[in-house]
Structure 1
């Protein structure tokens, strides 16, 4: 099939925007070649996985436990100071990981990888329910999401489902088989959160071919899986519900272990019904809130034929004419708006990493919250909304305008000439009205802000 490839549309819809030295991909083949190659952005701006993150969550939790145990003793003040030092260090780690994430998007030649990472991290959304996990969300993406965006979907399902961040967020760590050794002794019970979201959100959709009984049986199968900051990730047979489980027609051994759980996750992730849900979500995210049925069917077919090869599915999306409709109905969500703006301004990645804490707070953290997307805090396990109406709100628009009028002059000195910037940010076919507004602005700051707040920049 012949597609109406457009470098500017490719950079907007499937990337993180244009920049002074990034005019847009040359072709679909070039995009797939970059995606298939080494992850250069992650190499340049590495983010540690959970096991390598310093300070570790366990260190903080041990410090907090020691301080609580020493309550009322002379040592408590020193232990409280130590706990505070860990808390501050973990905040620094979280900030630096956020800045590295932004630097990757701003400087990469492989914008599609950044977009896919954001999409899949949102598909398997987690958030921190305690302070100890706040600095573990970016490592979760490093561990469970980014390595698999060009791999097999089933591998990502296993990695995300069994990651400590997911186990804690969806309360798997407190789920115990009622008839297990621990359950009978302590009266602990089954928690179905992870099993339910796995089936409803991650695999099949809310109207998928499963029943409440399947949710319960899967929850029972998962009961041995847990995480404890003292022992780390583990499969504990004394917490596992005894007996065989039957999930969506397939029976799993009464002598379940971690490999049984992984096999069940792979079985579920490779069922043919999963393809339609994943294909629809991809098309809705990248192309239109009203997905073209032929495009969804094409992606679903490739997903089924390849057993969930995500590189092949991505290539199928980029190779379909319906993915290249000229009308841009999607709206850049706030994090992408900020990343694309910095990219258009030509901000250097190292300058982002060296941003003053006050500037990070004033121009990254607070604005994202005002725009409706507080950092790493989706409202639920279904992640961020896709529809344009959720982002184009009075408060959200005000936040975007304030950011566009103020942040550029903090990030770039001197600001580019708006008459040049309009072509850099919007491409050679920038709308005449935006070009005129930029050239007529009284100040450079105002001209840059007008370009960044224009519908032509906001829509993808």
Structure 2
């Protein structure tokens, strides 16, 4: 292994910082994941359990509107619900600020990178009203505590999470021969969305060893998984398809329908060699290169299988492999990573972000991210953000990065650093003569800082 501390901070962390020294070893980076999550403690984000109170209140007001239609109470409930949605929207913007504060001030930057990687792997979002704001609480509960645990535990926590059930319409899925379907009336048929994404995105991969029959059988096995009130996981036997189901030539169920059958198939999918390879490839592409060294993918998949899907061990294998330390930096930083690493290099004070009102959050962070190609917590589809570098270097995205680099820092930092110093802070020994010259020749601090942040050397990992 050819460990390089500055490269480690840029490729596997949140970027170089004038406050936090880069890691001294890969072992130190792995060890940092085992300590307390001090960044989350310092910059808290609402948990989904607390967020459910917002959902419950929204549902109460919606029910009041339906049952008291036309009354003063119903009219008042409409206004109250709008206020509730607005408060949740403002809170969601504040959580973005907290994510960036964690990014800037964490002493375990690998934790932030892994949390966002796995949250993207298990993309889920609300579709309307207050539930649209549930992305960060979902990440806080289902993803962040499990980034060093067994993958099967994260798989169950996300696939059976109320937000995922809502996002992929699992609450609408009813077994064709279930007790509820037999009763007739207004019912919804079998929905394959969750089953398909579990196989295609979450575990085996697009080219995994499954068929359409596997998708349907898994979808039938998942019937019964739904949401109770206020958006809590619930298993309803009357919605479950009776009989056994066969997924990848293994049979599940057959007795009285139970969520244990769902948990069993998820565990088996998590332990499948195709899942190991799919996840190994995704990790290698995200952190190292769009076309990763096959030996690196092999090593990660082998470590996954040897440890039963221990994500902490797989992360260690990633950092131990020589291919991970190729000095050629080819990956382009996605927008969130670009902005986060810039804020970290500038050591933006916590209060500078926490004091931003909704208008300024939109102007300085949310809208620029969208122009760069990342609409915050509003994914295009369940496959999350693209990994291909070409997705981030389109003309509009590059223009948005340049515009943000030369305009936003002066709104967030009272006294911008000397560009000649900042180029070393932001890039260390990985700077280039062209960037050094630009920093030296800059006519103003804001211009020089912007040129450093907009440079190809800063854009790549």
* TM-score in terms of structure 2 length: 0.97
Q: Which moved more, 1:183-192 or 1:357-366?
A: 183-192
CA deviations over 1:352-397 (Å, ceiling 9, x no partner): 2222322111011110111111101221111111111100011101
Partner of 1:225: 225
SS at match of 1:246: strand
Partner of 1:101: 99
**Conserved in 2, the CA contact under 8 Å of 1:94 and 1:134?**
no
Partner of 1:242: 242
CA deviations over 1:262-318 (Å, ceiling 9, x no partner): 122111111222111110110011000001110000000000000000000000010
Partner of 2:129: 131
> In 1, Cα distance between the equivalents of 2:73 and 2:247?
52
Change (3 A) 1:76 1:188: closer
> In 2, Cα distance between the equivalents of 1:389 and 1:251?
42
CA deviations over 1:213-236 (Å, ceiling 9, x no partner): 111111011101001444732000
CA deviations over 1:38-72 (Å, ceiling 9, x no partner): 11111111222211127521211221232243332
Partner of 2:172: 174
**Which consecutive unaligned segments of at least 5 residues does structure 2 have?**
none
Partner of 2:448: 447
> In 2, Cα distance between the equivalents of 1:284 and 1:161?
23
**Conserved in 2, the CA contact under 8 Å of 1:104 and 1:349?**
no
* TM-score in terms of structure 1 length: 0.97
Change (3 A) 1:91 1:54: farther
Partner of 2:373: 372
Partner of 2:181: 183
Partner of 1:110: 108
Partner of 2:40: 42
Partner of 1:284: 285
5 Å-filtered alignment, 1:261-410, equals 261-410=262-411
Q: Which moved more, 1:399-408 or 1:42-51?
A: 42-51
SS at match of 2:72: coil
> In 2, Cα distance between the equivalents of 1:231 and 1:323?
41
SS at match of 2:70: coil
Partner of 1:206: 206
**Conserved in 2, the CA contact under 8 Å of 1:23 and 1:427?**
no
Q: Which moved more, 1:73-82 or 1:436-445?
A: 73-82
Partner of 2:84: 86
Q: Which moved more, 1:140-149 or 1:427-436?
A: 427-436
Q: Which moved more, 1:116-125 or 1:347-356?
A: 347-356
Partner of 1:216: 216
> In 2, Cα distance between the equivalents of 1:89 and 1:209?
45
> In 2, Cα distance between the equivalents of 1:455 and 1:55?
45
> In 2, Cα distance between the equivalents of 1:116 and 1:103?
16
Q: Which moved more, 1:156-165 or 1:423-432?
A: 423-432
Count the aligned residue pairs.
458
Q: 2:143 aligns with which of 127, 142, 145?
A: 145
5 Å-filtered alignment, 1:8-27, equals 8-27=6-25
SS at match of 1:9: helix
Change (3 A) 1:231 1:318: closer
Q: Which moved more, 1:265-274 or 1:404-413?
A: 265-274
> In 1, Cα distance between the equivalents of 2:198 and 2:83?
37
Q: Which moved more, 1:33-42 or 1:444-453?
A: 33-42
> In 2, Cα distance between the equivalents of 1:359 and 1:421?
25
> In 1, Cα distance between the equivalents of 2:230 and 2:394?
45
Partner of 2:71: 73
Task: Compute the RMSD of aligned alpha carbons.
Answer: 1.3
**Conserved in 1, the CA contact under 8 Å of 2:52 and 2:230?**
no
**Conserved in 1, the CA contact under 8 Å of 2:125 and 2:377?**
yes
Partner of 1:161: 159
> In 1, Cα distance between the equivalents of 2:108 and 2:218?
38
**Conserved in 1, the CA contact under 8 Å of 2:64 and 2:73?**
no
Q: Find out whether 1:52 has 2:50 as its counterpart.
A: yes
